[in-house]
């Protein structure tokens, strides 16, 4: 299970991403441990697999409306499906990459995989229960889901 400092690493990664890429802060809600079934997700889901000393996944999930506004904040006018998927993968990869810096070389991450929300839930690849870090940016809500054993 993740400890408080490890959760803080992922929070700092999200804060940093929005400060730099969106040039606007993101508000972080209280992280919570999911105890009953898989966590719910939005339309777009970026997943980074983790191996090495820790195993599991890091997932960033956001609604299309949030990604559209984020692209516009980045002066990107192309809000196609392909660009939405690229963006969700980029956010996930950047936050996970920042965590890798803190966790060290034994925190091995994959390239991002972009999934669609078929059933509205995130199935964890490991037995550990996921932590959800709620993120609110402007009027939009997203989640960072961290599931590591």
Query: In the chain, what are the domain boundaries?
Result: 4-148
Reduced to 3 states (helix: H, G, I; strand: E, B; else coil), residue 17 is helix
**4-148 is classed in which CATH architecture?**
3-Layer(aba) Sandwich (3.40)
CA-to-CA dists, residue 19 to 24, 25, 97, 131, angstroms: 5, 5, 16, 23
* Beta carbons within 8 Å of 77's beta carbon, 6+ residues apart: 71
Task: Please state the pTM of the whole predicted model.
Answer: 0.92
pLDDT of residue 127: 82
* pLDDT tens string 48-68: 999 998 999 999 999 999 999
pLDDT in tens, 19-42: 999 989 999 999 999 998 889 999
């Amino acid at each position: 299970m993740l400890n408080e400092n490890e959760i803080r690493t992922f929070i700092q990664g999200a804060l940093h991403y929005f400060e730099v890429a969106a040039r606007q802060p993101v508000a972080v809600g209280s992280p919570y441990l999911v105890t009953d079934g898989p966590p719910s997700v939005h339309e777009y889901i970026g997943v980074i697999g983790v191996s090495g000393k820790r195993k599991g996944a890091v997932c960033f999930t956001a609604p299309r409306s949030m990604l559209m506004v984020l692209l516009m904040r980045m002066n990107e006018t192309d809000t196609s499906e392909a660009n939405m998927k690229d963006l969700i993968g980029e956010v996930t990869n950047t936050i996970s990459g920042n965590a890798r810096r803190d966790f060290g070389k034994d925190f091995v991450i994959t390239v991002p995989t972009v999934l669609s929300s078929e059933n509205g839930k995130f199935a964890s690849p490991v037995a550990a229960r996921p932590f959800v870090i709620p993120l609110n940016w402007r009027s939009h809500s997203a989640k960072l889901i961290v599931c590591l054993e």
